[in-house]
Amino acid sequence: MCLRLIPTLSRAPLRDEVTDGEALHLGWFTNFTPGDWSSPFSVEGSHWDGNFYVDMAQAMERACFDYIMLEDTLMVSEAYRGTAEATLKYALLAPKHDPLPLAALIAAATTHLGVVSTMSTMAYPPFMLARLASTIDHISGGRFGWNIVTSGEDSAAQNFGMEALPPREMRYEMAEEYVELVCRLFDSWEPDAVVMDRERGIYADYRKVHPIHFAGKFFKCRGPLNTVRSPQETAGLRAGRRLATRPRLRRESLRLHRCDGQRHRRHETVS
């Protein structure tokens, strides 16, 4: 699997992008929250079955959007006055359900919209994240993207056995190594490893599936990944500028591949 690192803040001038007809991308950033539950015309917010978001993604697809991105955080905030009262009373970013199953649901109900989900490098062991990304990339037929975040709240860290988040610079150093490891796992299956040779009874050629023996400063992983190489070859990645421009990840960003449905979009008509 290759990667697309999108430093979100480093944009070329919009005018040129529009004129060359290639570079303007349409995305929608949302999250799996109650939505509008209290205004006069609302119908008690979006239900937790995900259908509201599926419907929204299908409408976005008709409107030629490139991708939907699902935000995430991992705590019920007590940032205001030290209690969860305001957070829960006003449903401010909590409750919030997990974006990954929703991404799979959306992927299954759409055909060419990019589906980008947030996963924090603090929360998942790298192997699990690579496996999930690869699995949803298959379910979506190569349309999955990973919004890379490191988490920014101590209360989230406390849900994972830590007292506090590591200092910011260390978080980014860890994330850099993490993404490098995930990339190595994506690549642990050669593109032609699955042979499905019925006559010889061979599903995959073991010589083309490689342990990675990754031993970094923070993470260790033997590999290989136990999922088949992603159809996309490249998981779409969104990272903050600070992370995307770190030396080891700049190298990964050269292995770009689209996750945004752009290739299909040009042939689409709006209905």
Ligand X SMILES: Cc1cc2nc3c(=O)[nH]c(=O)nc-3n(C[C@H](O)[C@H](O)[C@H](O)COP(=O)(O)O)c2cc1C
What is the contact surface with ligand X in residues (CB under 6 A)?
8, 29, 71-73, 118, 147, 149, 151-152, 240-243
Q: Which is nearer to ligand X, 101 or 211 (CB)?
A: 101
In whole angstroms, how close is the CB of 253 to ligand X at the nearest point?
14
In whole angstroms, how close is the CB of 6 to ligand X at the nearest point?
9
Q: Which is nearer to ligand X, 93 or 204 (CB)?
A: 93
**Peptide bond preceding 167: is omega within 30 degrees of 0, i.e. cis?**
no
Q: Which is nearer to ligand X, 134 or 151 (CB)?
A: 151
In whole angstroms, how close is the CB of 156 to ligand X at the nearest point?
8
**Alpha carbon distance 132, 7 (integer Å):** 23
Q: Is 209 left (phi over 0), alpha (psi -120 to 50) or beta?
A: beta
In whole angstroms, how close is the CB of 97 to ligand X at the nearest point?
13
Q: Is the dihedral of CA 247, 212, 179, 125 positive or negative?
A: negative
Contact 186, 143 (CB under 8 A): no
Strand pairing category for 27-30 and 67-70: parallel
In whole angstroms, how close is the CB of 198 to ligand X at the nearest point?
44
Q: Find the radius of gyration of the CA atoms of the chain.
A: 20
Q: Which is nearer to ligand X, 102 or 221 (CB)?
A: 102
Whose tokens are 């080891």? That residue is: 248
In whole angstroms, how close is the CB of 145 to ligand X at the nearest point?
11
**Alpha carbon distance 95, 83 (integer Å):** 15
Query: Which of 58, 28, 54, 33 has its CA nearest to residue 45?
Result: 33
**Alpha carbon distance 211, 128 (integer Å):** 16
Q: Which is nearer to ligand X, 72 or 187 (CB)?
A: 72
Q: Which is nearer to ligand X, 118 or 262 (CB)?
A: 118
| DSSP code for 83 | S
**Alpha carbon distance 142, 230 (integer Å):** 7
